[in-house]
Amino acid sequence: MAEPLATCQSTCLVTRPRHQSDRLVELLDQAGWQSLLFPSIEIIASSAAESLPERIHDYDIALFVSRNAVDYSFLQFPPGNLPDKLQLGVIGKGSLQALQRHGVESALLPADQYNSEGLLAAEALQQVADKRILILRGQPGRNLLGDTLRLRGAHVDYLEVYRRTLPEYPDQYLEQLTQQRFPQLAIFTSAEGLRNTLQLVSENMAQQLRRIPWLLISERMRETARNLGHNASIIIAVSASDEGIVEAIEQWQQSNKKHHP
């Protein structure tokens, strides 16, 4: 059963995986938002990751596509066991922070964009002919990173270190969660999370969700949202970080106040 909500706060639906939502919820609370947690993706370890301690010594560069890729890779070995020659790269601030939590202080963080394109622009990835590169990720997604590095002459392998699955909820769970107050905003941090959310709820609830603003973390997700029938405002966060998400919400609120004083 949902906990009582403070009447003075606006309410938002947070669909990020539960173990990654603490900081976002904290920042939302500071900004005056009550969070309703409805994780639409469950993250589990992949058995393929067990080969990582042996395989990692075969590579010159290891690239992590997400904070989950970092965390589930480091379940297999302590940071001190990394080969001295190995260079590390990440996509996004969250992945860099995850590396730092594991005691790793250096990475090929892109300077501007926190996505595959930004990482590919890193100076260390320009001359990679005959380099062996391992890309650590969940289930297959975008292959832009690997395809581009292969065109530059690198030998690229992928390793699935975690898997994303559909959570299980009791019937009418979201109806109960939103019984006292329906959210004014929903936060989605992946296209898969968008699709899963609508799959996990009743059609009536899905229609209600389609009528409230959605915050997304990339322009690519906008088309997915429209294809799923969303017909309200869309907010695109410039950064996928927790801070970037909350900043985008605050800017949206300020814009609304100007147009609806």
Q: Render 68-119 in DSSP notation, one character per residue.
A: HHHHHHTTSS-GGGS-TT-EEEESSHHHHHHHHHTT-------SS-SSHHHH
Integer CA distances (angstroms), 206 to 26, 38, 196, in order: 27, 13, 11
Residue of 111, 123, 54 lying closest to 83 (CA atoms): 54
Query: What pLDDT is attached to residue 162?
Result: 94
CATH topology of domain 10-41+166-259: Rossmann fold (3.40.50)
Distance of CA 259 to the CA centre of its chain: 31
- How far is 222 from 11, CA to CA, in rounded Å? 22
Query: What pLDDT is attached to residue 232?
Result: 96
Q: What is the pTM of this model?
A: 0.77
Fold agreement between 10-41+166-259 and 44-164: yes
Query: What pLDDT is attached to residue 77?
Result: 76
Q: With a cut of 70, list the residues of the chain below it in pLDDT.
A: 1-8, 78-80, 106-107, 109-112, 258-261
Query: What pLDDT is attached to residue 6?
Result: 38
CATH topology of domain 44-164: Rossmann fold (3.40.50)
Decide: 15 and 38 in contact? Cβ < 8 Å.
Answer: yes
Decide: 174 and 40 in contact? Cβ < 8 Å.
Answer: no
Query: What pLDDT is attached to residue 7?
Result: 41
Query: What pLDDT is attached to residue 134?
Result: 96
Decide: 120 and 133 in contact? Cβ < 8 Å.
Answer: no
DSSP letter assigned to residue 18:
G
Edge-to-edge strand list for the sheet holding 33-37: 33-37, 10-14, 185-187, 214-216, 234-236
Q: Map out the domains of the chain as residue ranges.
A: 10-41+166-259, 44-164
Query: What pLDDT is attached to residue 177?
Result: 94
Segments of the chain assigned E as strands: 10-14, 33-37, 42-45, 61-64, 87-90, 132-137, 155-160, 162-165, 185-187, 214-216, 234-236
